[in-house]
Amino acid sequence: MSRGGPLAGVRVVDLSRAMAGPYATLMLGDAGADVIKVERPDTGDDTRSWGPPFVDDGDRSHSAYFLSVNRNKRSISLDLKDPDDLVVLGELIESADVLVENFRPGVMDRLGFGHETLRERNPQLVQLSITGFGHGGPEGHRAGFDQIVQGEGGLMSITGQRGDQPTKVGVPIADILAGMFGAFGVVSALQERDRTGRGQTVRTSLLAGMVAVHTFQGTRWLVAGEEPRASGNHHPLIAPYGAFECADGSINIAVGSEGLWQRFAPLVALDPQDVRFATNRDRVERTTELAEAMAPALQSADAATWVARLEEEGIPAGRIRTISETYASAQVAHLGLIDEVAHPTLGALQLPSAPVAFGEGHAGDSTHPPLLGEHSEEILAELGRRAAGQEVGGTAE
């Protein structure tokens, strides 16, 4: 199956479940790869049962969580405890360019598909393995659930209000980042394969993703010896940069340079040369005092007035929207960030769309998140198994 796109013709066998691996294969599928999602009979991916919310079609309930990251994939149902189904899986892997799995270390070996075995069976295969805490080491055996790794990876300690409880990010960001880095590793390995003709194993983990995105918060500790702490809705190293109250609600303002400060200060009745706030370092050291000095002016007008006034002066500013307001945004519509797909039982279904747009080589319209085992017969036929009457573990829902 090909929808066009930069990865058209690349076959991905996806043994992953939940979020990290499926997010990686979502990205590959959005770029045109043929993603074959291998699922357990009867239950499928764990996230098929995660909710509410569920969407009912009259016969069954569909998890909104599952629907969010499984577009542009085909589903085959295989029982990995059944020797016959493992034979089918082996044939699928031999036909693939990429294999993605997020089992605990050692599971693939027990199934008979360890890295060396796979290299022998398909030397051109790119293998992506995503774990919670990495491969090997004193904690490599640990199961990796998103919030556990947000905590262990330091992210919760720098998220939330000042002096408040550590706070998780509102989406499974450790999973998502591991998936994104995994997808990056896959396309890098495919590019190298074009030169060498050989595949390789790509490894990443939720913990590695957390550490990678520490960026300046990491170097605050590693380079400067300063322990980062949560700074609420204000940037820890730039001021004023954060959420501020207007007459009817809050807006975000980002004064990210001294030039912007020179233009911004008079708008809130401050002298840009005021010795208390003359440099960014001064302002960061006096963020509370600065916010109090800005408050009378900001609270004299509503949010819409302030956003317009600030944008007119070239000061970055914006509303703080709800999810529903974001999806109603004209800019979101202009960018095509909502897909409408035809689901076989739910009808027209709106989903978040791919964030990357390709010019030439654009992938075709998105396909619906698959029913469990929906494409089993189709995929078996591609392996030449239909005529032989082969059956695999389960049928479409």
Q: Is 82 a catalytic residue?
A: no
The residues with which 348 forms a beta bridge, in sequence order, are 342
Token pair 């409880």 is found at: 165
CA angle 145–148–150, rounded 5-degree value: 105
Token pair 């029982």 is found at: 79
What is the separation, in whole angstroms, between the first and last Cα of the chain? 21
Q: Is the peptide bond before 22 cis (omega within 30 degrees of 0)?
A: no
Q: How many other C-beta atoms lie within 10 A of the C-beta of residue 211? A: 12
Lookup: tokens for 37: 């999602």
The distance between the two most distant Cα atoms of the chain, rounded to a whole number of Å, is 84
Name the pairing type of β-strands 201-205 and 126-131: parallel
Residue type, 13: V
- Distance from chain centroid for Cα 184: 12
Backbone φ, ψ for residue 354 (5° rounding): -65, 140
Instruction: Give the torsion sign (CA, 295, 299, 301, 307).
Output: positive
Are 368 and 72 spatial neighbours (Cβ–Cβ below 8 Å)? no
d(CA 30, CA 364): 9
Q: Which of 45, 85, 146, 175 is catalytic?
A: 175
Are 88 and 385 spatial neighbours (Cβ–Cβ below 8 Å)? yes
Query: Which residues are identified as catalytic?
Result: 175
